[in-house]
């Protein structure tokens, strides 16, 4: 059994403050303790995972609630799918500026692009060109790794272009929608 500690920062869906974590691993499970910080809005602060396949399984919180769970390291980012929601974390690096730490999350907010978080199939597009959307509003549903992913708008805007169709296979980072600023105002 090994234990590691450090700091991480959640970069998607929002740019959070660094938080301390403790990860204890054994042969087929691990416990991830966020030291009091919630994982996502209203999410658990500590959970354990029983994983039969590398990168996916069920996680159980201290209160006994279960979530579908998958994870993947993409470069220096930890991509965590918890109950269908994508959360992206980076190890906190005090020598790096906040703008650089935000990475792709900042770029998509600035450009208004809605990107596929991972390879998969588009199940539904919930908006049409010309629709006004608010930041974090659900705009599409994807399926990947046998889980549904809720895709949200990175900022307020007007749907300028729908790039994909339901049933279409997409790769990670592929543009799904484009948002224009409301009344010409930026993010």
When computed from its CA atoms, the radius of gyration of the chain, rounded to whole angstroms, is: 17
Query: Rounded CA gap, 102 and 10, in Å?
Result: 9
Query: Rounded CA gap, 174 and 180, in Å?
Result: 18
Q: Tens of pLDDT along the chain (187 residues)?
A: 555 555 555 555 555 555 566 666 565 555 555 555 555 555 555 555 555 555 666 666 667 777 677 777 666 666 777 666 677 766 555 444 333 223 344 345 567 888 888 889 999 999 999 999 998 889 999 988 777 888 888 889 999 999 999 999 998 888 999 999 987 555 5
């Amino acid at each position: 059994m090994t234990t590691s500690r450090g700091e991480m920062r959640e970069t998607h869906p929002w740019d959070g403050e660094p938080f301390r974590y403790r990860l204890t691993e054994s042969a087929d499970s691990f416990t991830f303790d966020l030291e009091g910080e919630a994982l996502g809005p209203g999410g658990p602060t500590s959970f354990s995972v029983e994983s039969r396949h590398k990168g996916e399984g069920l996680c159980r919180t201290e209160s006994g609630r279960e979530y579908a769970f998958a994870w993947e390291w993409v470069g220096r980012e930890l991509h965590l799918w918890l109950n269908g929601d994508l959360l992206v974390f980076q190890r906190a690096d005090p020598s790096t500026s906040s703008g650089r730490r935000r990475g792709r999350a900042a770029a998509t907010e600035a450009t208004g692009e809605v990107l596929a978080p991972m390879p998969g199939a588009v199940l539904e597009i919930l908006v049409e060109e010309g629709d006004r959307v608010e930041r974090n509003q659900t705009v599409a549903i994807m399926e990947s790794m046998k889980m549904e992913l809720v895709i949200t708008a990175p900022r307020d805007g007007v749907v300028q272009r729908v790039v994909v169709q339901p049933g279409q296979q997409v790769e990670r980072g592929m543009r799904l929608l484009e948002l224009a600023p409301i009344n010409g105002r930026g993010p």
